[in-house]
C-alpha cells in the first residue's frame, strides 16, 4: 500500500511531461508510419536534445554505442557469407526431402541455427528463393513454408547476443545504466527452448493453420496474386474506339480497368472515355487474366526504348523481384531510379497485397514487400540478383559458390564469434576485426561491405537510444515503474515480468521491434530497482518479446519479406501468430526465472 501511495503521490516534473510527450509522439509516428522509422528516430534525437532532456554528448552517444557498431559489423560479416554463395548449397538438401513435415523441420532448424550468428533478415533474404525453388521441386505450396521460415529466423535470433539487433540494443541500454550487460551465449539455453517450442508448434498446428495456396505450375509461367500492369494501346489494337466500360472482354472475370492515361494525364472518367491509340491502360488482376486481355486487344506492356529491346531472338526470362528491407529502392520510383536502363530489364507488373494502387508503374514510390515482375535476359537477371536490397523469387538459376571466398567468410565469422565467446576480446572488437579481414582478404569488396549494412537500422538504433536516456534522466522511467507496480498490486515479481513481456510484445506488433525495446528497457530496469530485484530477467523479457513478433506482417522485417512472396493475407499471420505469441508468453513466464532468477 505504501508503494501505491508513493507511486500515485509522486510529483510529475516538467521534464517528465516533456519526455512523455516525445514518447507519445514517437509511438504515434512509429504506429502510423507517417514517416520512415529512421526519420522518426532522428526526429526524436533532435527533439530531446533541443528540449534539454539530454546533453549533446548523450544525444549522439547512440552513434558510438557498442550495440550500434556491432550491429553494423555483423551486417558486413553476414554479407560476406551471403555473397560467397555457400548458403545456396542448402537448397540441394531441401529439394531432396519429399515429406512436408520433414522439409519444414529441416528448413526451420537450418534457418534458426544460421540466424543465431547471422542477421536474421539476411538469412531470410538468402533462404527465401531457395525455399520457393525447393518447394516447387517437391510439389508443395510455398505458403506452407514461408511463414515457418520467417518465424524460425526469429527463433534463432534470440539464441545469441549477436543473433538480432534487438538483443544488442537491450545489452547496450543495460550497460548505459551501469549494469554488466549480457554474454555472447547467455541467451542460448533459453533461446533453444523457445526454438524447440516454436518449431513443435509449427509442425503440429501449421498443418491446420497455414494457408495452402496452389503451388506454382513448373510447366507454365504462372505468377500468383493480383498484379498492377500498365498496357500501351497501339494503332492496330482492337481497343481503339471502344469505351473504357467495354474495353475489357466479357469473358475476363478477374481483370479490371482502373485508369486511362492520355498524353501523361489521367482521364477524369475512364469508363466513359473512348480509347485512342497512344493511351495507356492501368489494369489490375490475376496474371492469367491480364495476359488474356493483352493478347486479345493486342496491347503492349510498354513503349520500350530501343536499347532495352536488345536482340529479339535472345532468350527472355520472367522473374519476380522482392524489395527487401533496407533496399535503396524504397520510397523511390522506377523512373527516378532509371531502373530499366540501369538493370537492362523491363518491369511488366507490380504487386502490393492489400492495396489498390492507381498510378502508372513508373510513378509509384516503392515499398518494402513490393514485388516487381521483370522481363530480361539471363545475363541481366544475374546482374539484378547481385543488386543490394533486391531478392529474386521464382527464379531457378542458383548463384555460383566461390569456394575460397566461402571458406574465408565462414572462417572469419567463426573466428569473430569464438574470440568473443572465449572472452579474448569484446564482440564489438572481434566483429570489426572480421570486417577488416574480409576486405583485406578480398572476400568482400568495400562497395558490397557498405551495401550490406542496413543503414536505416543503424540510424534507428542510434536515434532512439537518447529517448531511453531521457526517460532515465527525467525520472520518467521510475515514475512509470512505480505506477506499473501499483496497478499490478503487491509488486509480485512474476506478475511484473508478465506485464513487461506482454507490453513489449503488444508494442512490437504495432511498431519497430527495436523502438519498442528501447522504450521498455529503461522502464524494466527502473521497475527491478524499485523492487530490489536483479534487472536481468526483466531485460531478457524485453529482448525476447521484441525479437519474436508473429501476429502481423509488419511487426518484424522477416514477416514483411515473406508476406508478398507467399501470397499471404493479413489474417493468415493473425491466425498462425496469435496462438504462438500466447505460447511464447506462457513459456517466458515459466522459463525466464529458471535461467535468470529474480
Strand 226-232 versus strand 265-266 pairing type: unpaired
Secondary structure of 494-529 as H, E, C letters: HHHHHHHHHHHHHHHHHCCHHHHHHHHHHHHHHHHH
DSSP class per residue in 338-379:
THHHHHT-EEEEEE-TT----S-GGGSPB-TT-EEEEEE-HH
Could you read off the pLDDT of 417-427 as tens digits, one per residue? 788 777 788 87
Neighbours of 371 (CB within 10 A): 25
In angstroms, the CA 103 to CA 96 distance is 9
What was the pLDDT predicted at 396? 42
359 confidence band (pLDDT: 50, 70, 90) = confident
Domain with residues 226-393, CATH architecture: 2-Layer Sandwich (3.30)
Weakest-pLDDT range from 56-65, 219-228, 381-390, 574-583: 219-228
Residue 44 has pLDDT above 50, yes or no: yes
What was the pLDDT predicted at 216? 41
513 confidence band (pLDDT: 50, 70, 90) = confident
- Please tell me which residue, 217 or 57, carries the higher pLDDT value: 57
Q: What is the mean pLDDT of residues 567-582?
A: 86
Weakest-pLDDT range from 91-95, 170-174, 398-402, 473-477: 398-402
What was the pLDDT predicted at 313? 44
569 confidence band (pLDDT: 50, 70, 90) = confident
545 confidence band (pLDDT: 50, 70, 90) = very high
DSSP-based three-state secondary structure for 286? strand
What is the sign, positive or negative, of the torsion defined by CA atoms of 232, 238, 244, 246?
negative
Q: What is the mean pLDDT of residues 379-384?
A: 81
- Mutual orientation of helices 100-115 and 146-157 as an angle, nearest 10°? 30
CB 598 within 8 A of CB 537: yes
Residues sharing a CB contact under 8 Å with residue 566, sequence separation 6 or more, in sequence order: 142, 143, 146, 147, 213
Supply the DSSP symbol for 174.
H
What is the average pLDDT score of the chain? 81
In our burial notation (b when 16+ CB lie closer than 10 A, e otherwise), range 471-480 reads bbbbbbbbbb
In angstroms, the CA 473 to CA 573 distance is 39
Could you read off the pLDDT of 184-212 as tens digits, one per residue? 889 999 999 999 999 999 999 888 888 87
Q: What is the mean pLDDT of residues 104-127?
A: 81
7 confidence band (pLDDT: 50, 70, 90) = very low
The helix, strand and coil proportions of the chain, stated in percent and rounded to the nearest 5, come to 60, 10, 30
226 CB-contact burial (10 Å; exposed 0-12 / middle 13-18 / buried 19+)? buried
8 confidence band (pLDDT: 50, 70, 90) = very low
Taking phi over 0 as left and psi of -120 to 50 as alpha, with beta for the rest, 181 belongs to left
DSSP class per residue in 164-187:
SHHHHHHHHHHHHTT-----TTTT
Domain ranges of the chain: 1-64+86-216+454-598, 226-393
Bridge partners (DSSP) of residue 286 are: 226
2 confidence band (pLDDT: 50, 70, 90) = very low
Residues sharing a CB contact under 8 Å with residue 540, sequence separation 6 or more, in sequence order: 187, 190, 592, 595, 596
96 confidence band (pLDDT: 50, 70, 90) = low
- Please tell me which residue, 567 or 593, carries the higher pLDDT value: 593
Could you read off the pLDDT of 293-329 as tens digits, one per residue? 888 888 887 655 555 555 544 556 778 888 888 788 8
What was the pLDDT predicted at 133? 66
Bridge partners (DSSP) of residue 265 are: 262
Supply the DSSP symbol for 535.
S
- Please tell me which residue, 179 or 490, carries the higher pLDDT value: 179
Radius of gyration of the chain from its Cα atoms, rounded to whole angstroms: 26
Residue 486 has pLDDT above 80, yes or no: no
What is the sign, positive or negative, of the torsion defined by CA atoms of 297, 301, 303, 306?
negative
224 confidence band (pLDDT: 50, 70, 90) = low
What was the pLDDT predicted at 4? 41
CB 210 within 8 A of CB 141: no
What was the pLDDT predicted at 191? 93
The predicted model scores a pTM of 0.61
Residue 379 has pLDDT above 60, yes or no: yes
In total, the chain counts a number of residues equal to 598
The CB-side HSE value for 96 (13 A sphere, CA atoms) comes to 5
Q: What is the mean pLDDT of residues 53-59?
A: 90
Residue 520 has pLDDT above 80, yes or no: yes
Percentage of the chain surpassing pLDDT 90?
Answer: 15
1 confidence band (pLDDT: 50, 70, 90) = very low
198 CB-contact burial (10 Å; exposed 0-12 / middle 13-18 / buried 19+)? buried
- Please tell me which residue, 105 or 479, carries the higher pLDDT value: 105
What was the pLDDT predicted at 564? 65
CB 151 within 8 A of CB 206: no
DSSP-based three-state secondary structure for 570? helix
CB 123 within 8 A of CB 111: yes
Residue 10 has pLDDT above 70, yes or no: no
Residue 127 has pLDDT above 90, yes or no: no
Residue 401 has pLDDT above 70, yes or no: no
Residue 447 has pLDDT above 50, yes or no: yes
CB 393 within 8 A of CB 132: yes
Residue 47 has pLDDT above 90, yes or no: yes
151 confidence band (pLDDT: 50, 70, 90) = very high
What was the pLDDT predicted at 90? 62
Amino acid at each position: 500500500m505504501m508503494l501505491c501511495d508513493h507511486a500515485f503521490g509522486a510529483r510529475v516534473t516538467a521534464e517528465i511531461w516533456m519526455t512523455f510527450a516525445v514518447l507519445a509522439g514517437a509511438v504515434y509516428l512509429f504506429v502510423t508510419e507517417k514517416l520512415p522509422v529512421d526519420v522518426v528516430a532522428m526526429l526524436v534525437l533532435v527533439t530531446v536534445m533541443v528540449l534539454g532532456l539530454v546533453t549533446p554528448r548523450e544525444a549522439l552517444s547512440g552513434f558510438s554505442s557498442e550495440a550500434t557498431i556491432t550491429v553494423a559489423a555483423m551486417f558486413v560479416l553476414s554479407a560476406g557469407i551471403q555473397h560467397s554463395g555457400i548458403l545456396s548449397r542448402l537448397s540441394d538438401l531441401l529439394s531432396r526431402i519429399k515429406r512436408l513435415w520433414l522439409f519444414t523441420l529441416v528448413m526451420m532448424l537450418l534457418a534458426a541455427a544460421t540466424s543465431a550468428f547471422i542477421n536474421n533478415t539476411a538469412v531470410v533474404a538468402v533462404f527465401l528463393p531457395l525455399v520457393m525453388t525447393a518447394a516447387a521441386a517437391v510439389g508443395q505450396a510455398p505458403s506452407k513454408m514461408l511463414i515457418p521460415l520467417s518465424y524460425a529466423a526469429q527463433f534463432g535470433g534470440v539464441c545469441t547476443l549477436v543473433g538480432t539487433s534487438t538483443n544488442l540494443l537491450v545489452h547496450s541500454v543495460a550497460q548505459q545504466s551501469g549494469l554488466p550487460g549480457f554474454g555472447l551465449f547467455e541467451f542460448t539455453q533459453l533461446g533453444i527452448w523457445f526454438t524447440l517450442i516454436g518449431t513443435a508448434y509449427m509442425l503440429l498446428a501449421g498443418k491446420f493453420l497455414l494457408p495452402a495456396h496452389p503451388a506454382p505450375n513448373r510447366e507454365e509461367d504462372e505468377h500468383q496474386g493480383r498484379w498492377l500492369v500498365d498496357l500501351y494501346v497501339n494503332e492496330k489494337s482492337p481497343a481503339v474506339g471502344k469505351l473504357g466500360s467495354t474495353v475489357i472482354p466479357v469473358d475476363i472475370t478477374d481483370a479490371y480497368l482502373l485508369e486511362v492515361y492520355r498524353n501523361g494525364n489521367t482521364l477524369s472518367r475512364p469508363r466513359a472515355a473512348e480509347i485512342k491509340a497512344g493511351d495507356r491502360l492501368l489494369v489490375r488482376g490475376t496474371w492469367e487474366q491480364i495476359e488474356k486481355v493483352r493478347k486479345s486487344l493486342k496491347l503492349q506492356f510498354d513503349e520500350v526504348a530501343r536499347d532495352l529491346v536488345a536482340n529479339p531472338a535472345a532468350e527472355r526470362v520472367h522473374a519476380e523481384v522482392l524489395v527487401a528491407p533496407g533496399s535503396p529502392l524504397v520510397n523511390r520510383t522506377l523512373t527516378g531510379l532509371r531502373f530499366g536502363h540501369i538493370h537492362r530489364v523491363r518491369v511488366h507488373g507490380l504487386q502490393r497485397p492489400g492495396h489498390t494502387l492507381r498510378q502508372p508503374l513508373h510513378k509509384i514510390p516503392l515499398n518494402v514487400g513490393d514485388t516487381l515482375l521483370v522481363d530480361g535476359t539471363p545475363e541481366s537477371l544475374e546482374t539484378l540478383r547481385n543488386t543490394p536490397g533486391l531478392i529474386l523469387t521464382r527464379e531457378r538459376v542458383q548463384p555460383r559458390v566461390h569456394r575460397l571466398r566461402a571458406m574465408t567468410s565462414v572462417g572469419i565469422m567463426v573466428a569473430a564469434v569464438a574470440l568473443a565467446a572465449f572472452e579474448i576480446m569484446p564482440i564489438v572488437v572481434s566483429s570489426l576485426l572480421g570486417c577488416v579481414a574480409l576486405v583485406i582478404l578480398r572476400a568482400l569488396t568495400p562497395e558490397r561491405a557498405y551495401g550490406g549494412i542496413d543503414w536505416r537500422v543503424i540510424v534507428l538504433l542510434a536515434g532512439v537510444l537518447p529517448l531511453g536516456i531521457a526517460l532515465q534522466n527525467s525520472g520518467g522511467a521510475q515514475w512509470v515503474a512505480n505506477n506499473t507496480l501499483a496497478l499490478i498490486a503487491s509488486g509480485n515479481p512474476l506478475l511484473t515480468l508478465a506485464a513487461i513481456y506482454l507490453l513489449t510484445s503488444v508494442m512490437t506488433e504495432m511498431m519497430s521491434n527495436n523502438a519498442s525495446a528501447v522504450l521498455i528497457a529503461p522502464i524494466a530496469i527502473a521497475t527491478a530497482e524499485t523492487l530490489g530485484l536483479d534487472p536481468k530477467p526483466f531485460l531478457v523479457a524485453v529482448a525476447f518479446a521484441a525479437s519474436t513478433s508473429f501476429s502481423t506482417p509488419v511487426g518484424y522485417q522477416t514477416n514483411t519479406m515473406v508476406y508478398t512472396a507467399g501470397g499471404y493475407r493479413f489474417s493468415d499471420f493473425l491466425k498462425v501468430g496469435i496462438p504462438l505469441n500466447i505460447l511464447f508468453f506462457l513459456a517466458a513466464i515459466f522459463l525466464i526465472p529458471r535461467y535468470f532468477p529474480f
